[in-house]
Amino acid sequence: MKSLEIFSGAGGLAKGLEESGFDNLALVEFNKDACKTLRANFNSRNVHELDIRSFDFTPFKGVDLIAGGPPCQPFSLGGSHKAFNDERDMFPYAIKAIDELKPKAFVFENVKGILRPSFSEYFDYILLRLKYPSSKPQTGLDWSEHLYNLRIFQKNNPIPEYEVSFKLINTANYGIPQTRERVIIVGLRADIENVWKFPKEEFNLDRLLWEQFVSMEYWERHHIDSPLKYSHSPTFLKRAEKIRNKYGLIPPSGKPWRTMRDVLGYLPDPKSKHGIEDHNFRNGARSYPGHTGSMFDLPSKTIKAGAHGVPGGENMIRYADDSIRYLTVHEAKLIQEFPSDFVFSGAWGESMRQIGNAVPVTLGRKIGNQLANILSLEKNKLDFENDLKASINHCKHLV
């Protein structure tokens, strides 16, 4: 199955889709440092360093999937909140790609802020454009006027070109060691008979806290004798007490959220001699209101790209003794579930910007597996129908 990746960033979604069996024919990205990262980890001939507005989609007709993360800054809670008035709003060009190539499916990722009430009308417009990508706005018509026309069009044409679903997900619920909330939008072409369902969320906080403060098996796994005194904030400790009272010795269903210790606990101290090229200590970490770091025995808070490429204080580890330090690039990429040998181009700030903007690889893989299964079933159905037609024609010829 063939995919086209637009707004590729560092390639987190592309890597996940690749691991689920999709062949990335092209990765389109504007940022020069992100393109260096893509060339270092993917087929460099498939990396297109240019503005999507000047990209020629024509050579990629017949592609099965279009994927990517349209720039999130227009909708980010920490950004300027300009949405459709922000020149970085690239959703119209994502829709253009779908209209021109007619893929069997598409998947886009964006920030939670896109669901803010103040953006609701524009988000509705995005969804309708994705459902009817060939219904372009007339020249001179602004988006709100086009939205009005699309709503009328939808009433008269209830069967869309694409069936579109979206969901606000927390990546920790998918086993990723990070509480990262993102909106995932998935579309299937109307002629695809199978229905999209988001992958099951198998991990939860209750199970983690139960294993940490009731069964104690979390600490046993990490060869620690007892819960560390300052391993959690008072808020989490109160929740742990409620879980102890609610469940007792019967564990909550599901799997425990994965923590920073689960994925980073085996790494050497970044100050030591270890031979890991991107695992270098960075001095200067400090805690201040709103930026206190991530407790080592919980999933990381959202790794942030930061303004102007400078990550905020949340890109820190906070240990049980209340000490803090910055994440290394190596640690941050493991939290985002990139392979350990994945290479990021640029200094610490630039690398962290790319990592903070990326889709966790595991999330991309799980979505990719679901899409691959649907598209494979569709291909098998078409192959069967074609074989049946060929057999019938052959029989007619014999008669």
Check 26, 72, 126, 176 and give the catalytic one.
Answer: 72
Torsion-angle region of residue 372: left (phi > 0), alpha (psi -120 to 50) or beta? alpha
Total number of residues shown for the chain: 399
Q: Pairing state of beta strands 162-170 and 181-189?
A: antiparallel
CB 5 within 8 A of CB 13: yes
Residue with tokens 């896109």: 114
Helices (H), the chain: 12-19, 32-41, 91-101, 120-131, 143-156, 205-213, 217-221, 234-247, 260-264, 329-335, 348-357, 361-398
35 is catalytic: no
Please report how the helices 120-131 and 91-101 are oriented relative to each other, as an axis angle in degrees rounded to 10: 10
Across 184-201, b (16+ Cβ under 10 Å) vs e yields: bbbbbbeebeeebeebeb
Across 253-291, b (16+ Cβ under 10 Å) vs e yields: ebebbbbbbbbbeebeebeeeeeeebbeebeebeeeeeb
Positions marked catalytic = 72
